[in-house]
Amino acid sequence: MNDKIKIGVSNKEGQLGFLSTKGGLREGAGRKSIGVTKKVSITLTEEIWEKLEEHCSSRQLSRSEALRHMLENYFSTSHSEG
């Protein structure tokens, strides 16, 4: 396999993209966005961090995925009203 990879700048917001010899940057290519990304910092007890890590590990989830699922579940139930 002799594919070379080049890095190019997309026409969108100056984002870097990878180009192979078999294609280029294409509008709509790549992973689809599932929402808006915002960086947050939270403080939890060591016990809660350990439980979160165990939860993620046993389900093969990233922390972001696990927390997103928990928040979506919380807000999709009656907890979100009031």
pLDDT at 81: 60
pLDDT at 1: 58
What are the residue ranges spanned by the domains of the chain? 37-82
pLDDT at 22: 60
Reading the chain (82 residues) residue by residue, the pLDDT tens digits are 566 666 566 555 656 666 555 655 666 667 778 888 899 999 999 999 999 999 999 999 999 999 999 999 999 987 756 5
- Three-state DSSP class for 15? coil
Alpha-carbon distance 25 to 35, whole Å?
22
pLDDT at 10: 58
Those residues whose C-beta lies under 8 Å from the C-beta of residue 11, and which sit 6 or more positions away, are: 25, 27
1 burial level (CB within 10 Å; 0-12, 13-18, 19+): exposed
- Three-state DSSP class for 31? coil
Q: Does domain 37-82 have CATH number 1.10.1220?
A: yes
